Amino acid sequence: MENTPLNLLDEFAIENLPSVRRRKLLPVWIRIFVWIFMIMGGIAIPVLFMGLLGMRPNLALYGLETNVMASAVGALLLFLFLYKGVVAAMLWFEQGPAVVLAILDAVLGIVICLWVMFASPHFVFKLELVALVPYLALMISLRKRWAMAAAGNP
């Protein structure tokens, strides 16, 4: 009885969890999306140059789509793909601010999806929300653990 903690939840506190690599904190589905968005972020750079050369590549994300890079939607989509690529790379390479930037990424995605859903002449549910909401919840729950995890310690 003398080893019983004062608070029964103390043994589950974040501070008492063993040190792990940050990457191992990410579930498999996030790791898959990390690779997809690292690739998409890398592709956004040539797409930008294609647009500057007068080509019209199609871009679409969160219900926004365009093939005109020199437009507000085109610039926003290129920014989103580049930003998601950077966040994905930061998560994969276990960078400190990655989770905070991922939270911002999820919030931005949810806001854009909701705006597109309700600004359209007819309501269309955006399926991206099915992944964005759990992504946001997971990143919020990982924030403290990510900050405390020792990168590089298996």
Quick check: 43 and 32 in contact, CB under 8 A?
no
Residue type, 109: G
Q: What is the pLDDT of residue 70?
A: 87
Q: What is the pLDDT of residue 52?
A: 86
Distance CA 55, CA 17 (A): 52
Q: Which two tokens stand for residue 94?
A: 């276990």
Closest CA to 74 of 65, 82, 62: 65
Distance CA 29, CA 56 (A): 32
Quick check: 103 and 116 in contact, CB under 8 A?
no
Give the torsion sign (CA, 82, 35, 88, 94). negative
Distance CA 133, CA 7 (A): 32
Q: What is the pLDDT of residue 115?
A: 95
Torsion angles phi and psi, residue 103, rounded to 5: -60, -45
Positions of the chain with pLDDT under 70: 1-19, 150-154
Q: What is the pLDDT of residue 64?
A: 94
Burial label, 59 (beta-carbon count in 10 A; 0-12, 13-18, 19+): buried
Percent with pLDDT over 70 in the chain? 84
Q: What is the pLDDT of residue 14?
A: 47
Q: Where are the domains of the chain?
A: 26-148
